[in-house]
Structure 1
Amino acid sequence: MLDWFKVNLQYILPKHLLSRLVGKFAAAEAGGVTTAFIKFFIKKYNVDMSEALYPHPEHYKTFNEFFTRQLKPEVRQIAGGDDVLIQAVDGAVSQFGDIHQDSIFQAKGHNYSLTTLLGGKPELAKPFKNGKFATIYLSPKDYHRIHMPVEGTLTDMVYVPGELFSVNPLTAENVPGLFARNERVIAFFDTPVGKMAMVLVGATIVASIETVWSGTVTPPAGKNVQHWQYESDDEAAVKLEKGDEMGRFKLGSTIVVCFEKDQIEFEDMEAGMTTRLGEVFALAKANKTA
């Protein structure tokens, strides 16, 4: 009964208004109030500050600075090898596997449309049909910067307005089409394993989604799908190496990563498993040994 209430309450809450109000607080330099709230948050969610580049709560002028904190370089090692793709985030595997034509598995009893997820643009979705996907959930305690699983050159970015449901496991199991109905930012890359789509999914009280090449994409929230195209073969091209930061959430959410058919194989993945930035995520299929 409590779970039913938690899920259905989200349908009537003013989620965008609530998220923007929280965003204002998270961006405010409120001195002792900010520090006290950061300490409360660390204790409540058992955040491991020993991994942070700046481990003391007093260092952070705003809650956003704390939430998007950097890690010490030595605490996450990037797995080497030209055929190795790495985990893009600290989090937990929600689901992964095959994309069946235009259908992606969300949770028991729920699938959603690949094309809808990628902004309703068939030309952008086509390369990923019958490919692979992985959905990774970032909990409040996690590191909230997103990195590149493999080197890539940016070709497109799409902003899709939408809902701001929570993306925790309970909601994923009960809200149909969750990741294809929430607000999101999608980045498309050309990589050595074909096209890759990185979908940054917004959620309740996610105050901001940013990319390293464009800064803050949302807020403000738009009312229409927006599509940016990028030159990929000149000096101005956005080229990122494996392990480079590509974006960040100010307050937690989920990423969905999509690959083309017959390009990669996931390595030792299980639903529910913990992910750590830099660990082996998948292998390029052409180079995978039997």
Structure 2
Amino acid sequence: MSPITALTYVLPHRLVSSIARRLAYSTRPAIKQWLIDTVTRKFNVNLAEAAQPDPTAYPTFNAFFTRALKPGARVADADPRSVLMPADGRISECGHIGRSREGVLHEEAGHIFQAKGHGFTTAQLLADDAAARAFDGGVYATVYLSPRDYHRVHMPWSGTLRETVHVPGRLFSVGTDAVGSVSALFARNERLVCHFDCDFGPMAVVMVGALLVSGVETVWGGVEIPPYGGPIVVKDYRGQGIALERFAEMARFNYGSTAIVLLPAGVADLVPELRAQAPVQLGQALARLN
């Protein structure tokens, strides 16, 4: 574990993230432009593909961070059976729920591999045992969005929103060192679980917060996180007809973090080229329906 990751155990996560949020929404030119220029330079952000390529045109750092892309900058995989990658980034991990990388059945039901021997269960991630059982034997993919990436999350498949669950938690970093060091990190961090009903059955997309992540917004509900902490908040959307098409925008992070897609058993197979640490782009194939 690096000294920086060790430090995150004692940092007041919510205080640090609240301060970061205030800075991200500051309209003071000196603050917002310094942040934009620093991130652009340090992470080699490609503004040429942004709908607004002028870094001085953004009113706040958050507006820059959640920037839209030019039309056609990302396209959906041509195969209509492809379940799509929900975001730009890299694969943190992927595989079969309840099995090891080698395909061996895990002793813990619903186990999802994190990194370096660490893992968690779907029940822990979703904070719901019954919802977790729907994904037993299914597949998952965990996508890490770095500060340089496009920070909007899109639908892997067409679906109707059934429920969201805001699960309170910590705000550990989700960088490589932390993922390899902090046990059950994604099931411990603050997160928004989005449940959809699709033509093949249930699909879950989990938006995991992290240190300095100042919020998660959805296209149907606006700002979902903050507030930080508090009790688990469940919102029932059944009967409201909130249907989103495959590849449509569903949410955005106000700073880099992680999105996890869960699909039920027997529905789809992950594409063969998908592997841990592979760079990925929104719209490419994540899995193909059987």
Q: TM-score, normalised by structure 2?
A: 0.94
Q: Among 260, 265, 270, which residue is 1:266 paired with?
A: 270
Whole-angstrom CA distance in 1 between matches of 2:220 and 2:229: 19
The residue aligned with 1:288 is none
Q: Among 97, 100, 109, which residue is 1:99 paired with?
A: 97
Is the Cα contact below 8 Å between 1:186 and 1:197 reproduced in 2? Answer: yes
**What amino acid is aligned across from residue 117 of structure 1 in structure 2?**
L
Q: TM-score, normalised by structure 1?
A: 0.94
Q: Percent identity?
A: 39
Deviations 1:21-53 (A, max 9, x none): 010110111124312321121011100000100
The residue aligned with 1:275 is 280
The residue aligned with 1:242 is 246
Q: Among 207, 213, 232, which residue is 2:220 paired with?
A: 213
Whole-angstrom CA distance in 2 between matches of 1:76 and 1:52: 11
**What amino acid is aligned across from residue 14 of structure 1 in structure 2?**
P
For the pair 1:199 / 2:206, whether they are aligned, the reply is yes
The gaps in structure 2 that reach 5 residues or longer are 99-108
The residue aligned with 2:61 is 63
**What amino acid is aligned across from residue 111 of structure 1 in structure 2?**
G
Q: Aligned to 2:134, what secondary structure does the other structure show?
A: helix
Q: Aligned to 1:66, what secondary structure does the other structure show?
A: helix
Q: What is the number of residues matched between the two proteins? A: 279
Whole-angstrom CA distance in 2 between matches of 1:90 and 1:273: 11
Q: How do residues 84-163 of structure 1 correspond to structure 2 at under 5 angstroms? A: 84-100=82-98, 101-119=109-127, 121-163=128-170
**What amino acid is aligned across from residue 242 of structure 2 in structure 1?**
V
Task: Classify 1:13/1:222 alpha carbon distance in 2 versus 1 (closer, same or farther; 3 Å).
Answer: closer
Whole-angstrom CA distance in 1 between matches of 2:229 and 2:170: 12
Is the Cα contact below 8 Å between 1:94 and 1:272 reproduced in 2? Answer: yes
**What amino acid is aligned across from residue 277 of structure 1 in structure 2?**
L
The residue aligned with 2:179 is 172
Deviations 1:192-224 (A, max 9, x none): 232110000000000001111110011111311
CA RMSD of the aligned region, Å? 1.1
Q: Aligned to 2:36, what secondary structure does the other structure show?
A: helix
Deviations 1:196-253 (A, max 9, x none): 1000000000000111111001111131111111124xxx311000110000000110
The residue aligned with 2:102 is none
Runs of 4+ in 1 over 6 A off after TM superposition: none
The gaps in structure 1 that reach 5 residues or longer are 286-290
Is the Cα contact below 8 Å between 1:193 and 1:264 reproduced in 2? Answer: no
Q: Aligned to 2:261, what secondary structure does the other structure show?
A: strand
Whole-angstrom CA distance in 1 between matches of 2:192 and 2:35: 29
Which deviates more from structure 2 when the two are superposed, residues 87-96 or residues 24-33? 24-33
Whole-angstrom CA distance in 2 between matches of 1:200 and 1:91: 14
The residue aligned with 2:235 is 228
The residue aligned with 1:78 is 76
